[in-house]
């Protein structure tokens, strides 16, 4: 009887920790992070950007989002899964942290298109 009581919590703990999933995205910073198959397309996009703007500029393609931003020093990306009354919503939120006027940031977010994302949100913090 004692042995069964000890095994059940251990098995439950193993089950719960084994179910933890990896986030459905990865983040890379720097222009060297461009995927080889996207290099030409992204280089063309970068040439067309308005460098005078400090707006977040985004290039979205299946499974990848590239950002080029001016005036920001860091980035934080999160995945939010919400379920309500059987409806699910998967959101990829990218938050840029404001830096000084000379800061620039190039970010690649690679995401699993099967698990993510119904909505892509860009946020800014001072």
Residue range 68-94: average pLDDT? 89
pLDDT reading at 10 higher than 50: no
Residue 46's SS3 state is helix
Residue 22 DSSP label: P
Q: Which residues pair with 102 in a beta bridge?
A: none
The two counts, helices (H) then strands (E), for the chain are: 2, 7
Give pLDDT, residue 31: 81
Identify the H or E element spanning 21: none
Burial bucket for residue 72 (CB in 10 Å: 0-12, 13-18, 19+): buried
Residue range 30-43: average pLDDT? 91
pLDDT reading at 88 higher than 80: yes
Give pLDDT, residue 68: 92
Give the β-pairing of 64-70 and 57-61: antiparallel
Residue range 82-95: average pLDDT? 89
Residue range 18-40: average pLDDT? 80
pLDDT tens profile 11-28: 433 333 444 567 788 888
pLDDT tens profile 105-126: 999 999 888 878 877 888 777 7
What is the model's pTM?
0.75
């Amino acid at each position: 009887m004692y042995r069964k009581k000890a095994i059940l919590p251990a098995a439950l703990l193993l089950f719960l920790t084994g179910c933890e999933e990896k986030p459905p995205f990865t983040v890379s910073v720097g222009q060297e992070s461009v995927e080889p198959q996207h290099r030409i397309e992204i280089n063309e996009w970068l040439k067309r950007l308005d460098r005078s703007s400090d707006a977040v500029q985004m290039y979205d393609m299946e499974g990848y989002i590239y950002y080029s931003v001016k005036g920001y020093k860091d980035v934080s990306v999160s995945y939010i899964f919400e379920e309500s009354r059987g409806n699910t919503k998967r959101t990829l939120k990218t938050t840029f942290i404001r830096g000084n006027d000379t800061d620039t940031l190039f970010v690649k977010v690679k995401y699993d298109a099967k698990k993510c994302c119904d909505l892509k949100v860009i946020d800014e913090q001072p």
